[in-house]
Amino acid sequence: MYDPEWRTNGLLEKAATHLIDWAKKQEVPGLKAEMIQAEGKTPLVFIEIEGTSKSAKTICFYGNA
């Protein structure tokens, strides 16, 4: 399902903000969360958690519906 009115109804921004707020409330050490919005594109939620050891690996999750 695609919302053709996503630019004007603000629902994607509201959902992204909700997700970011939830993530921050988990109080994970080193967590940084932000919403990135490029002109004409749907919002992107970017969450980064700093590694806690020298052997920490980088993992990237990407989801597109």
Q: How many domains are contained in the chain?
A: 1
pLDDT at 22 over 70: yes
Compute the distance between CA of residue 22 and CA of residue 20 in angstroms, rounded to an integer. 5
pTM: 0.79
Range of the domain at 40: 1-65
- Please, what is the average pLDDT of the chain? 88
The residue among 12 and 64 whose pLDDT is bigger is 12
Compute the distance between CA of residue 28 and CA of residue 10 in angstroms, rounded to an integer. 28
pLDDT at 56 over 80: no
